[in-house]
Structure 1
Amino acid sequence: MPSAAERTRTLVQSTASAVLVVPGVHVERPESMIPLERIVGTDGDLFLLFSADSPAARAAAHAEADELSAVLEITDVAPVAVRARIRGRAWISGWLTVARDLPTPAGRVRLRLEVGEASLDDLWGTGQVEPDDFATAEADPLIAHEAELLQHLAAGHADQVAWLCALVGDAGGTHRAPTGAVPLALDRFGLRVRFTGAEDVFDARFEFPEPVRGHQDLHRAMHALFDAAEEAALGRRDR
């Protein structure tokens, strides 16, 4: 499974929504605290792009070094229609300064968030992340295309996704014959599906034989997974 640092780094570099919270800063328009862009530097610092007249930019411009604390709050929502769509949240806290040495578009200000600590609560569980671990972690290689891939699976391969339930352990007779199956999350290690039954909702994780690094690897892994699910489903039907 991906480490807590990798999952946090993936969320930061994904398209998940984020808002910067600066204690003591009055905000009239909450949308003004949403970064226009976020980049992770080589040393693990976050570089956040804001409008030059945003409350965050004004506060950082008047703050001394290491004086202004802030928290970047990230909320990850599933890109497909599914019950309980929030897949995870992450909080990156640290100290905010103006990054004056980086090229910035006119009318914008790039702020540096020096990471002090991070935490997350996602489909894998909760975790704490140290700054050094965050700096050296890598985002999942599928993150740039995950939303598109999940939407494609949901729209074009719904029947095959539903077959995957045949690979789920019987668990004493529970979780049988789901009425719905939605691909919920995808990473280099596997696919997570949310099944809806007559009385319950449950997630199942289907791991790939080995981590995938790109589209070709993923294509082979998904075909092998669907072939195994179809074989298992036909086997159950024949019994």
Structure 2
Amino acid sequence: MRPSPAEIVRTLVAGRLPGIAHVAHRPGPHQVRHVTDPDGRVLLLVPVVSDLAAALRPAGGDSEVALVLDVLDLPPAAGAPSLGRAWVSGWAARLDGDEERRAALDFAAVEPTGDLLDVGTRFRLHRFEVVEARWERGDTVRRIDPEAYAEAEADPLHAVEAELLTDLADHHGTEVAGYLCRQLGLADDAGDAAPRVVRIDRYGLLVTHGRPGARRRVRLAFPRPLQCQAELTRLLHPLVGRHASSPRHADHA
């Protein structure tokens, strides 16, 4: 198994990566702090005095403005492939009162910034339901059904992926290399062709191996999708031992 396109888009727009807002018929684009709430709706934390706040001010008697949020994945390590780019769009409206306070709690659950204490004074929250979603990777752009997007879950490991890769490389490098060699049927003395983990998601590990310039990618699937970092720790601990075996299977990426 591997992440579905809808899961990848939910992961990218979850709020851990920088976002760019494009507001219809307004100057821009604008950098924006954003998260998604449990239903996949996008929350924008906007300074009251800013170009973005001016762009989000509806014209005439409208209460909403059309907006596209653009989020590009940042690979967590050198040599790691990007997950691509997500584009989600909808009609953004400013929140007020109890609705804004509840949205601030949703925002804090993902990104507990101190600026949320000033919501209603120096900052305002805007929200939109995703009515169109697209996933761009390489030269391919794929449309994602909005219902599939809403039902998907962001990957629980994405926010700590870089930290996990660094820990595996710095503190368990020898054990991980040995484990990967056993799983892929490679010699333990592979040298600069030795396999290494370049991405981690809830479904498995993406591994590269081979000589520079001719490296290959292989996925090693977990026995089941993981729900949190603690499950990954419990799963990997026995697998990187000297004599570990695994129920995982390899799949060329």
- TM-score bracket for this pair, using the shorter chain length: 0.7 to 0.9
The answer to whether the 8 Å contact 2:239/2:245 transfers is no
**Which has the larger displacement, 98-107 or 88-97?**
98-107
Query: Which residue is equivalent to 2:50?
Result: 54
The answer to whether the 8 Å contact 1:76/1:89 transfers is yes
Query: Which residue is equivalent to 2:171?
Result: 156
Paired with 1:22 and 1:203, the residues of 2 have a C-alpha distance of 38
1:195-206 to structure 2, matched below 5 A, reads 195=209, 197-206=211-220
* Pair 1:194–1:23, CA change in 2 (3 A): farther
The answer to whether the 8 Å contact 1:47/1:112 transfers is yes
2:196 aligned with 1:209, yes or no?
Answer: no
Paired with 1:62 and 1:102, the residues of 2 have a C-alpha distance of 18
Paired with 1:118 and 1:187, the residues of 2 have a C-alpha distance of 21
Match of 2:70 among 64, 67, 73: 73
Deviation at 1:72, TM superposition (A): 0.8
The answer to whether the 8 Å contact 2:203/2:224 transfers is yes
Unaligned runs of 5+ in 2: 102-118, 247-253
Percent identity, aligned pairs only? Answer: 32
The answer to whether the 8 Å contact 1:19/1:72 transfers is yes
The answer to whether the 8 Å contact 1:48/1:112 transfers is yes
**Which has the larger displacement, 86-95 or 211-220?**
211-220
Paired with 1:217 and 1:207, the residues of 2 have a C-alpha distance of 14
Give the CA RMSD over aligned residues.
3.1
Paired with 2:245 and 2:38, the residues of 1 have a C-alpha distance of 46
1:35 alignment partner, SS class: strand
Query: Which residue is equivalent to 1:193?
Result: 207
1:132-147 to structure 2, matched below 5 A, reads 132-147=147-162
Q: Deviations over 1:100-138 (max 9, x none)?
A: 340325211212223111121359x86432222222222
The answer to whether the 8 Å contact 2:37/2:43 transfers is yes
Paired with 1:129 and 1:121, the residues of 2 have a C-alpha distance of 11
Match of 1:168 among 184, 195, 210: 184
* Pair 1:91–1:208, CA change in 2 (3 A): same
2:216 aligned with 1:219, yes or no?
Answer: no
Q: Deviations over 1:49-88 (max 9, x none)?
A: 111123232122233245x3221111111222x1365332
Paired with 2:9 and 2:172, the residues of 1 have a C-alpha distance of 29
Counterpart AA for 1:60: L
Paired with 1:61 and 1:192, the residues of 2 have a C-alpha distance of 44
* Pair 1:54–1:142, CA change in 2 (3 A): same
* Pair 1:49–1:14, CA change in 2 (3 A): closer
* Pair 1:187–1:88, CA change in 2 (3 A): same
1:149 alignment partner, SS class: helix
User: TM-score, normalised to structure 2's length?
Assistant: 0.72
The answer to whether the 8 Å contact 2:202/2:225 transfers is yes
The answer to whether the 8 Å contact 2:15/2:34 transfers is no
User: TM-score, normalised to structure 1's length?
Assistant: 0.76
Q: Deviations over 1:25-48 (max 9, x none)?
A: 224xx6xx2222423253x32111
Counterpart AA for 2:88: I
Deviation beyond 4 Å, 4+ runs, structure 1: 227-232
